[in-house]
Structure 1
Amino acid sequence: MDGLSDINGIKYGFTTRLGGVSTGIYKSLNMGFYLGDDRENVLENYNRVGSAMDIDITRMSCPNQVHKSEVLVVTEEDAGDGITRELTHSEIDAQITNVKNLPLIVYTADCVPILFADPVSRVIGTSHAGWRGSVAGIAAKTVNKMKEVYGCLPENIIAIIGPSIGPDNYEVDETVIKEIYNSTFIDSSSDNIVTQNIGNKDQEVFIRSGSYVNNVRSIPKDYEGMLLTHPGALYSIYRTVSVKQRYMLNLWNLNELILVNAGLKVSNIYQTKLCTMKNHEMFFSHRYTNGKRGLNAGIISL
């Protein structure tokens, strides 16, 4: 993540699967309480992460993620929820707060963890974005809730797209692609779709953002000139694999596109570009292990 280090004293980070005490399929820094791992081992893993990040894990708010798009406004009353007591909120895939020393956590094992920080308003957030949450606009809904509740300006919000399954390993079927085109958080009108042949009858498909950007990450070489006449940036969203009748989906770019459409500056969006499936020895990967695994975490705290 070139160019990103300190965010006005806000603490943040992503865990790997290394450095913990869990064993077996949870080896070793499993952050998931409800997968069958020994709870004392998981608590020790939390203590190690808390010590490394200098945060109080007993005040953490732990969500019950269900691949939907509900955003929880976390208050002082939620401190310790899911870690020092049973969960009190269900079906939560995003959290925001302005409470100091109340860490937020997001769990993943291939899905995209997104951390949010507004260093001006001193507001933080997390989102859990699998393909369902992504097309449901979980990232945009988190931004909108930060605006609505705390008066955050999107141009001040920083978003970090954490370790998750990458575009070379995330194979999906046509059902997922159709959901992308049906998403109200993406303008998939014909004027915003650009395709580029990449050989063997396959294509790379780009979708244009709906707002002006001046720092573009993904532009096909043949279409650089189009930016002179159109304000949006082109994002590579998926590649076709015609021999399998499948698609390779880029969740990183899909969520960045949605964030740009929500008003974030491209220069304030960071992709770690670490693939959990490719780097399965470093991160837990649901696909690589067929679901027999622990959980990685993204954590942020004021």
Structure 2
Amino acid sequence: MSIVTCVSAGVPYLHCEAMTAAGGVVHGFSTRAGGVSDGIYASLNLGLNRGDDREKVLENYRRFTAAIGANLDGLVLSSQVHGDVVRTITTADRGKGIFQKSDYEADGLITDIPGICLTIFSADCLPILLYDPVRRVVAAVHAGWRGTAMGIVTRAVEKMRDVYGSSPADILAAIGPGISKCCFETDEDVPNAMTEAMGAAALHAMELRKSGKFHVDLKRLNALRLERAGLSADHISISEACTMCQHEQFWSHRYTRGQRGSQASMIQLL
């Protein structure tokens, strides 16, 4: 199954067909459309720290959570630092990052508590959602190239297994919209980090162009990490959307040179 776009209450979002078919969970990857922000943030900016008007961003949250069927009052936001920390979320964390101050930094969030809506942000980096329908555990992961090299998605699978007893073979994964190989042009520092971390297998996700620059496929690298962590290849859905190619539809940090809003990706057990 794949990751597809749908529209609810005038708000377009992407969802993973396999997760929807499994039931017991709501989730979604936002786009730029369907909100009330204006100017450089038009229209569905979900980043509270980008300089946008807070009340407009909160209205965007109301619209997006309503569209995907999530609980606004159950939101838990991540404070991302491009690391590999995965935090276990409890009821004490409800509202952190949006209705109360966040007291942690983490690029991955996991929970088994229904009604808690895990939320991570992206604007070229990869949003990755995980769902174990057997043990009923969810995770949301932010994976830029540093997080990919450090294995943030592997840490999330391991924590689902160690904390909640998930079997990796049961986990469904959705790699959402992010910068794709076509546009992720880098110097040799990124390929070096990937091969050092993942070995020769990483070479298949990188290409040296005539320009002397490398083009790196972060989606493929994270899919490889998920398979190595024990997920079945047919349990991994990958969005074809490139945030930089499709910058009119998605926020792209590279295209806007940082003058932008943020996508949010959410997952919540019912």
TM, length-normalised to structure 1: 0.82
Q: Distance in 2 between matches of 1:152 and 1:110?
A: 29
Q: Distance in 2 between matches of 1:7 and 1:94?
A: 22
Structure 1 vs Structure 2 CA RMSD:
1.1
Q: How does 1:126-145 map to 2 (within 5 A)?
A: 126-145=140-159
Q: Secondary structure at the match of 1:6?
A: helix
Question: Do residues 187 (structure 1) and 155 (structure 2) align?
Answer: no
The aligned counterpart of 1:69 is 84
> Any stretches of 5+ residues in structure 1 without a counterpart?
194-204, 207-236
The aligned counterpart of 1:280 is 247
Question: Do residues 263 (structure 1) and 230 (structure 2) align?
Answer: yes
Q: Distance in 2 between matches of 1:30 and 1:147?
A: 34
1:240-266 per-residue CA deviation (whole Å, 9 max, x = no partner) reads 11x321100001101000110111100
Question: Do residues 79 (structure 1) and 100 (structure 2) align?
Answer: no
Which of 256, 259, 267 matches 1:292? 259
The aligned counterpart of 1:123 is 137
The aligned counterpart of 2:162 is 148
1:169-228 per-residue CA deviation (whole Å, 9 max, x = no partner) reads 110110111101111xx232xxx57xxxxxxxxxxx42xxxxxxxxxxxxxxxxxxxxxx
1:105-132 per-residue CA deviation (whole Å, 9 max, x = no partner) reads 1100000000000000000001100000
Q: Distance in 2 between matches of 1:107 and 1:296?
A: 6
Q: Secondary structure at the match of 2:92?
A: helix
Measured after TM superposition, the shift of residue 8 of structure 1 is 2.2
Relative to its length, the structure with more helix (as a share) is 2
Which of 187, 190, 206 matches 1:238? 206
Q: Distance in 2 between matches of 1:141 and 1:22?
A: 35
Task: Specify the structure having the higher radius of gyration (Cα).
Answer: 1
Measured after TM superposition, the shift of residue 74 of structure 1 is 0.2
Task: List structure 1 runs of 4+ shifted beyond 3 angstroms.
Answer: none
The amino acid of 1:250's aligned partner reads: D
Q: Distance in 1 between matches of 2:265 and 2:125?
A: 11
Which of 44, 65, 72 matches 2:59? 44
1:263-289 per-residue CA deviation (whole Å, 9 max, x = no partner) reads 110010000111001111110000111
Q: Distance in 2 between matches of 1:262 and 1:43?
A: 36
Q: Distance in 2 between matches of 1:46 and 1:291?
A: 21
> Any stretches of 5+ residues in structure 2 without a counterpart?
3-16
1:34-61 per-residue CA deviation (whole Å, 9 max, x = no partner) reads 1110000000000001111222112211
The amino acid of 1:141's aligned partner reads: R
Q: Distance in 2 between matches of 1:146 and 1:129?
A: 17
State whether residues 58 and 83 of structure 1, in contact with CA within 8 Å, keep that contact through their aligned partners in structure 2.
Answer: no
The aligned counterpart of 1:7 is 22
Percent identity between matched residues is 41
Question: Do residues 31 (structure 1) and 46 (structure 2) align?
Answer: yes
TM, length-normalised to structure 2: 0.92
Q: Distance in 1 between matches of 2:31 and 2:229?
A: 29
The amino acid of 1:127's aligned partner reads: V
